[in-house]
Amino acid sequence: MRDSSRLTRRAALGLTAAALPLSAASPASAATTVVGGERLARGGIQVRGATGLPKKITAQAWLLADCDSGEVLASYNAHRRLPPASTLKMLFADTVLKKFERTGRYTVKDSDISDVPSGSSLVGIKAGITYTVEQLWQGVFLRSGNDAVHVLSHMNGGLAKTVAEMQAKAVDLQALDTHVVSPDGFDHNGQLSSAYDLTLFARHGLKDEEFRGYCGTRTADFPAGGKKTFQIQNTDRLLTGAWGLGVYKGLIGVKNGYTSHAGNTFTGAATRGGRTLLVTVMHPAAGSNAVYEQTAALLDWGFGNGSSAQSVGLLVDPLSEGGASASPSKGAAGASGTSAAAAGSSKPSPWRLAEGGAGTLALLGAGAWALRRRRRTAVAATATAAATAAVAEPDLRDARVSDPGDTPAG
């Protein structure tokens, strides 16, 4: 029954123009175009055709969606812009993961890790040790290591280039609530995302076998120098059952995050009965387990009462994969060009970021029309300026938060 009406629902959804508040504290996005449907721009709970949502959800924003169809089954403040913490590493992986062969080897230099912000979550990378690319990504996904992110960013041409490419990737994914300042998710003024955008990042990443494998890995042996290793464990508590939580049945990833400013944020995906659901929960009240408990509760509802839920919105497809993009003059009824075939496709994006600063600038130029129409001028200027070779890499060591590591919260 769901498949028979999917095309109709997808055609009715899409991008809706709206004038929205620019405040980061607002329930709505700062973007001038509502991505995914008009209902997702509204404050409060959005659900249709199902009852029994968990009552004790204290998150400032959350979203539950079907991973394959992209249909949003329920949400709360879906486009509210909030600090994403290390969940932004999903976008980092979406952008950089396919650049290097996993068997490649790299010897870390002091300069690769000298700009890691003080207080960051670390996997324990040391200068002078040679790591495989696979091990560096294990450091990113399992331990949320900012040191691993910085090494990979420098391998990619530097922090500024990586930030610019991440912003361009966000534009392609139509994640218009997201403004990237640092590749690791560490707290910086203006670094924001939303439950909607984080779910887009997760859905796109899970189409890739390597991404899916890394985020679902529970433990790994990590180099300590010479022939010595130490074991690292994934900080996703629903995956490992740590901190008094049980392993969530069917969980396949994706990424958690915590800073003292952002609080706890988590995007999780689980599969049951051949159906995969995605949940993003941002900034719940109460203790560090709350983000996982509330994610589990929403997943339980989605696999149960939520099976009858009708779409309140849509996770749109990337522009590079045929995703529809409405101009600000169009409403939901006019944005009917979303590709149903692209949703849930396992085919990786053909869009590849060109190497070097010139390639980055060309890529940003290709998406400039979207930035001009749908983002504030400041965001476009930041992404473009960061991409130019004349701009020095930012010093990320003097952030506002003194204790932003993921360790206390997972």
Full DSSP string of 26-89 = SSS-SSSEESS-GGGGSSSEEE-S-----S----SEEEEEETTT-EEEEEESTT--B--GGGGH
According to DSSP, residue 38 is labeled G
Calculate the CA 145 to chain-centre distance.
16
Calculate the CA 180 to chain-centre distance.
11
CB 121 within 8 A of CB 86: yes
Closest CA to 294 of 57, 126, 74, 117: 57
Place of tokens 């691993």: 148
Cβ neighbours for 397, distance < 8 A, ≥ 6 positions apart: 115, 116, 117, 118
CB 379 within 8 A of CB 179: yes
CB 118 within 8 A of CB 400: no
3-state DSSP assignment of residue 136: helix
Q: Rounded CA gap, 35 and 338, in Å?
A: 12
What is the rounded average pLDDT for all residues in the chain? Answer: 79
Q: Rounded CA gap, 91 and 183, in Å?
A: 8
Q: Rounded CA gap, 349 and 208, in Å?
A: 9
Calculate the CA 310 to chain-centre distance.
24
Q: Could you read off the pLDDT tens digit of each residue along the chain, which spans 410 residues?
A: 444 444 333 333 343 333 333 334 444 444 446 899 999 999 899 999 999 999 999 999 999 999 999 999 999 999 999 999 999 999 999 999 999 999 999 999 999 999 999 999 999 999 999 999 999 999 999 999 999 999 999 999 999 999 999 999 999 999 999 999 999 999 999 999 999 999 999 999 999 999 999 999 999 999 999 999 999 999 999 999 999 899 999 999 999 999 988 899 999 999 999 999 999 999 999 788 999 999 999 999 999 999 999 999 999 999 999 887 743 323 332 233 333 333 333 333 332 333 333 344 443 444 444 444 444 433 443 344 343 333 333 333 333 332 333 444 34
Q: Are strands 33-34 and 263-272 parallel, antiparallel or unpaired?
A: unpaired
CB 57 within 8 A of CB 294: yes
Would you name the residues annotated as active-site residues? 86, 89, 144
Q: Rounded CA gap, 259 and 273, in Å?
A: 35
**Was domain 2-387 assigned CATH 3.40.50.1360?**
no
Q: What are the structural domain ranges in the chain?
A: 2-387
For 165-215, write each residue's pLDDT tens digit: 999 999 999 999 999 999 999 999 999 999 999 999 999 999 999 999 999
Place of tokens 């994969």: 321
Q: Rounded CA gap, 389 and 290, in Å?
A: 43
CB 232 within 8 A of CB 121: no
Closest CA to 199 of 383, 363, 353, 36: 36
Closest CA to 187 of 402, 42, 408, 340: 402
The phi-psi region of residue 321 (left if phi > 0; otherwise alpha if psi is between -120 and 50; otherwise beta) is: alpha
pTM of the complete model beyond 0.85 = no
Q: What is the DSSP string of 111-134?
A: HHHTTSPTT-------TT-EEEHH
CA angle 225/228/232 to nearest 5° reads: 95
According to DSSP, residue 318 is labeled P
CB 410 within 8 A of CB 288: yes
